[in-house]
Every structure is written in C-alpha cells, then in structure tokens.
Amino acid sequence: MPLDATQPGFATTVAALRLRSWKLGAGHAMEVIDQFSETDFTHIVDDRADVHVSSRDGRFYLGYFPNGRPGGADEDWVTGEGWVIAVTGTANIPGYRMSFATETPAEIIAAVVAQILATSRPL
C-alpha cells in the first residue's frame, strides 16, 4: 500500500484494509457438549447451571461457565472466563490448560474439542 507522506495522519482505503466479517457472540453451548458421549465422559450440571465434563479416566476436563467461572485468587468470580479445557499430563509429558472468554463463539470451542477428541485414543 503506497503511503502519501504529504498528508498528515494515517490514510488508507477500505479496499486496502480488506475488511471482514468475523464470527462473534457466544452461540450455543450444546454444539460443544453434545460431542461427549455418556459412555466415555461424565456430565455434571451444578447449582449455578455450570456444566462440567470429564473423561472416565479423569485426565480430560471441560468446564462451561455461562456467567463466568467462580473462584480465583480471592475466591471472587473470574467473570471473563467461560470455558476451561484441561488435559492432565503424564510423568514424562506435561499436560495443558486452555481458557476462553464467555463470549467466545461455541463453534470455535467445538472445533478445539473435536481436534482434542480426534487425537485421543484408548490405551
């Protein structure tokens, strides 16, 4: 993109910015939760309507907190955290934890979960 140094400030065109429309909004949590069979995973809905899913072996965890996750350093609400995914590691390889905001589109979380499930296998 050519820069016109004779003009003050920043100048560009809409075409040069290549504006896009992006998926926004929380979407439908069931797109994520429906990926977990009752055969392989335990589902719990608590008194706050938060959803907790864990693998039968306890190494995978997904938490869905539509109003933000409770807890934190001072036991206050972690208001921005809507999804938590964690996989426990082994003695030789560390696990991992991811968190996403309450307004992260469920389709994005569903894609992450699908990839994690695709890489798991029974021992």
Q: Are 95 and 35 in contact (CB under 8 A)?
A: no
Q: What is the pLDDT of residue 84?
A: 95
pTM of the predicted structure, to 2 decimals: 0.80
Please state, rounded to an integer, the average pLDDT across all residues of the chain.
Answer: 87
pLDDT tens figures, 46-98: 999 999 999 999 999 999 999 888 765 555 556 678 999 999 999 999 999 99
What is the pLDDT averaged over residues 26-55?
95
Q: What is the pLDDT of residue 43?
A: 97
